[in-house]
Amino acid sequence: MLEYINHAKLNGEDTFILAQATSPFIRSVDIDRALDQLDKSNASSLLSCVLTKRFFWDNNGTPINYDFNMRPRRQDFDGMYMENGAFYINKVANIINYQNRLTKPITIFEMPEYSAVDIDEETDWIVAESLMNNLLLKGDGFA
């Protein structure tokens, strides 16, 4: 990002959107809504996330986001936000000053859980393609 910003000689007040090419479920409407959300918030930057109702453990066998002695049903669990890596939005000046795509305060733009599919491996492509075909059949805005 910094290399591009310097090469393009972007203005510090410009809004920079980093959209990840490996996230196939970004729609233009998501970007539009995220920009609107950031504009209406008191935040400096925004990242896209999915609300997941999964239970996480660390490599020491310790639960991270719940008490295993009182495990809630997933449908009763508030869940937690997970970066889906789809996109990040910030002002160019913030990116330059902090050398980071995010600066506090940060707001979260929630996307559907299926948008967490990220194409990094060959099998990811198969999953994404199957999901895309299913969404197209349902008419979920991917035509």
CA separation, residue 10 to residues 25, 63, 69, 96, 135 (Å):
28, 44, 53, 10, 37
pLDDT confidence band for 138 (50 / 70 / 90): confident
Give the other-Cβ count within 10 Å of 116's Cβ.
Answer: 18
> Has residue 141 got a pLDDT over 80?
no
The reply to whether 143 falls in a domain is no
* Nearest C-alpha neighbor of 97 from the set 34, 40, 44: 44
What pLDDT shows up at residue 24? 94
> Has residue 104 got a pLDDT over 60?
yes
The reply to whether 118 falls in a domain is yes
> Has residue 66 got a pLDDT over 80?
yes
Domain hosting 67: range is: 2-138
Residue 70's domain is classified under what CATH number? 3.90.550.10
Give mean pLDDT, residues 81-102.
97
What pLDDT shows up at residue 92? 98
The reply to whether 15 falls in a domain is yes
**Catalytic choice (33, 54, 71, 101):** 71
Q: Which amino acid, residue 77?
A: F
What is the chain's Cα-based Rg? Answer: 18
- Let me know if 33 is a catalytic residue: no
The reply to whether 103 falls in a domain is yes
The reply to whether 25 falls in a domain is yes
The reply to whether 35 falls in a domain is yes
Overall domain count for the chain: 1
The reply to whether 8 falls in a domain is yes
pLDDT confidence band for 140 (50 / 70 / 90): low
What pLDDT shows up at residue 142? 62
pLDDT confidence band for 137 (50 / 70 / 90): confident
The reply to whether 80 falls in a domain is yes
**pLDDT tens digits for range 4-59:** 999 999 999 999 999 999 999 999 999 999 999 999 999 999 999 999 999 999 99
**pLDDT tens digits for range 118-135:** 999 999 999 999 999 988
